[in-house]
Chain A
Amino acid sequence: MSAVLAPNGKPAKERKRRRLKPWQLMPYVFVAPFFILFLTFGLFPLLFSAYASFFRWELTAGLGNMKWEGLGNYAFVLQVNDLPWSRFFSGEFWSELYARDFWRAMYNTFWLGIVSGLPQHLIAVPLAFFIHTKFRRARNPVIAMYFLPYITNTVAITLVFSSLFSRDFGVINQVLTGLGHLELFGIHPLAWLFPAQNVDWGRPEYTRPIVSFIVWWRFVGWNTVLYLSALQTIPKDLYEAATIDGAGLLQQFRYITVPLLRPMMLLAVTLTIIGNLQLFEEPFILTGGSGGVGQVAETVAMQMYKVGLNDGDFGTASAVAWLMFMVIAALTWLNNRTLGRKD
């Protein structure tokens, strides 16, 4: 009771804040590790990078030498000054914009994001439907096969792909030229279709498609699993009723499966948007960090890395990161509006 009565004789207020017994503290102790780790490695870096994006911070000079820059870092990244605005509708404006690092990286990121992301869903939905309806006992092994690329280390995958696409010693070129040189009864029936010489996959026109292909290949299985789990929640009697009404497989897919999958599509597409806009490892390793000839595969995340760790300018790198965050947030919101609508 002595704890309740405060020395200055104001017990009323104090009574409410009763002291916790040690065992009552235990739940807090148990949840503490997560919060401590989250605060140190999650929240603090997040807030600090937002703070740093307003400062000039020459990395090797140390923390003490951060200089207030205001929005200077953002202006430095965006570089919208001296753009030929008057020729906005001509190619000149856009090629000038493309010449600036951030916008080029943004364009590349979107290119890779769309070309690798869209087919993921266009294939994963029918594939999941197919697996769901046609496979019985073999279903789990089949899903596991599709899921395998997703759980395999990205670096390892990309290195394997880069050796597959190797110009002189790659398997892909061996197969292609092998088919081109294929001889049947003294003629080369496939020579018109396949190259006679090794294809140089390092050329700029191939870089983005190859990166997109790797990303697509990695995530198709993941999306299939997502859609498959959603398919299992669709009641069977809907399909049975449709069958009785005379609906074919395609009609069932169009009028039952797709509409009922929409909540899962929202989640899956959101994850794809976030993941693809942060694309880093595949293009970085495939192009040796440079982005390839003409930097056609340099993504925004790669640019952030370059500015931060190569140029040692963490303020600007933080600004890039927050600009990227804004784009991701905007797109996620848009996606929510379109796929998440209730009707």
Chain B
Amino acid sequence: MKLAIRLSLATLLASATGLAAAQTVLTVASFKDLDRSVTAAIPLYKKLHPDVEIKLVALGYGDHHNAMITALATGANLPDVMGIEIGFVAKFAEGGGVEDLSKPPYNALQYKDKFFKFSVAQATSRGGIFAAMPADIGPGALFYRKDLMDKAGITEAQLTKSWPSFIDAGKTLKAKTGSYLIPHAAAIKDIIIRSGLKDGEGIYFDSKGKILVESPRFVNAFETAKLARAAGIDAKIGAWSNEWSEGFKRGTIASEMMGSWLAGHLKNWIAPDTKGNWRSAGIPGGVNASYGGSFYAIPKGSKNKALAWDFVQFMSTNREVQIAAFRELDAFPALVDATTDAFVDQPMEFLGGQKARQDWKATAAKIPATDVDKLDPVAAEVVAAEFDKVLEQGKDVKTALADAKKAIERRVRR
């Protein structure tokens, strides 16, 4: 009898504590680094909603997206809000697993003009589904080693004027200092296929799903990258490899074209000792492109959509929150309003006191709102494989692009 009484008392107590803690719990799933912006925003959100408990589940980049795909596939363990990287937005949107935020009760299109226009386009997939709210963006820039360029007598104008002049500068640099100008010729290809695009155009597919890889854009991209390889200005090193970071550390690679966030990576772990030697410039040939970007979406299986939407709005449209992420993590805001913060005008020590954020802001405003397709990653993979053959095996550019088109057609099932 005693045991029974004890047991029932225990259950009573447990349920009582459960009642006392009966707050609303909002589950937010995010990936590493983006989770820090959520952590930074939680105290601010608590001020407005003291009764809401935010449960943050953060995994590594790959693990997080795999976990989200599994959750969407099975409908189990779905969070209320999910942070997603640009490469997955279209895939999640077209699968129909996330809420279309353009529809009521969300009506997210009211915020359309508050963001840099290209980030809204990135979040919109086929059929006008507005799948996710933009959080941060990565305006593209050319980061280069000022000290090495000075040694070789190369000016910034020479680097940025045009691709031929960029390649010539690379030759001079190689002759005078022995350093390579870029890690891999693929960077040039990736930029040129994004050049000259207008609002509403896609990189690999047009609005009707036609494959565009045989267009002059791609031919030019492949040919120019081939010239760069022939000129011997690329170190033949893939991004994010050990050789890549080691090359920046030792100064054997003098520049890289990526999103503005690369400055943070260089400063924090890749090459902290090269502080003050780097500068940021526009991408050669005046191309405005974006690299990466993070978004927040609400899965259809979310248990508390109203609150989830409130939180998503808070993360993406609240100026204070966006500035907090900007200042603390250097995540470039997607919210135009947040880029009027004084932080933009601060000189950056790592870039030798350059006020580079002003340039990035200007770039962000100029990036065209290109169309995205859920098959973009597939097309990118096929094009990259053919590009390798052109560089390594001397495959003819036209044949390679024709083969790429065929290979994409075989992978596509609409």
Contact = CB atoms under 8 A, between A and B. Distances in A.
Contacts of B95: 58-62, 312
Contacts of A85: none
Contacts of B396: none
Contacts of B349: none
B392 interface: yes
A60 B242 CA distance: 34
Interface string A46-60: 000000000011111
Interface in B55-74: 66, 69, 72-74
A9 interface: no
A192 B410 CA distance: 47
B377 interface: yes
A203 B96 contact: no
Nearest to A308: B69
A169 B395 CA distance: 29
Interface string A283-296: 00000101001110
Given A60-B91, A101-B411, A203-B392, A168 B243 contact: yes
B40 interface: no
B243 A314 contact: no
Contacts of B236: 167, 200, 202
Contacts of A311: 378, 411
A313 B375 CA distance: 12
A312 B66 CA distance: 10
A30 B182 CA distance: 63
B110 interface: no
Nearest to B78: A62
Contacts of A295: 385
B353 interface: no
B385 A294 contact: yes
Nearest to B406: A99
Contact of B73 (A202, A290, A293, A314): A314
B153 interface: no
B238 A288 contact: yes
Contacts of A60: 69, 72-73, 91-92, 94-97
Contact of B74 (A62, A65, A76, A294): A62
Contact of A294 (B73, B243, B392, B413): B392
Interface residues of A, number: 35
B388 interface: yes
A104 to B, nearest CB: 10
Nearest to B72: A60
B385 A310 contact: no
B407 A99 contact: yes
Nearest to B246: A169
A340 interface: no
Contact of B242 (A57, A169, A310): A169
A139 interface: no
Interface in B366-414: 377-378, 381, 384-385, 388-389, 392-393, 403, 406-407, 410-411, 413
Given A59-B73, A60-B73, A101-B410, A168 B246 contact: yes
Contacts of B392: 203-204, 293-294
Contacts of A197: none
B252 to A, nearest CB: 8
Nearest to B92: A60
A254 B393 CA distance: 46
A234 to B, nearest CB: 49
Contacts of A64: 75
B97 A61 contact: yes
Given A58-B95, A60-B72, A62-B73, 16 more contacts: A58-B96, A59-B69, A60-B96, A61-B96, A62-B96, A62-B97, A63-B73, A63-B74, A76-B413, A167-B243, A204-B393, A294-B385, A294-B388, A294-B392, A294-B393, A312-B95
7 contacts: A60-B92, A60-B97, A61-B96, A62-B75, A63-B73, A203-B392, A294-B393
Interface of B: 66, 69, 72-75, 91-92, 94-97, 236-238, 241-243, 246-247, 252, 301, 377-378, 381, 384-385, 388-389, 392-393, 403, 406-407, 410-411, 413
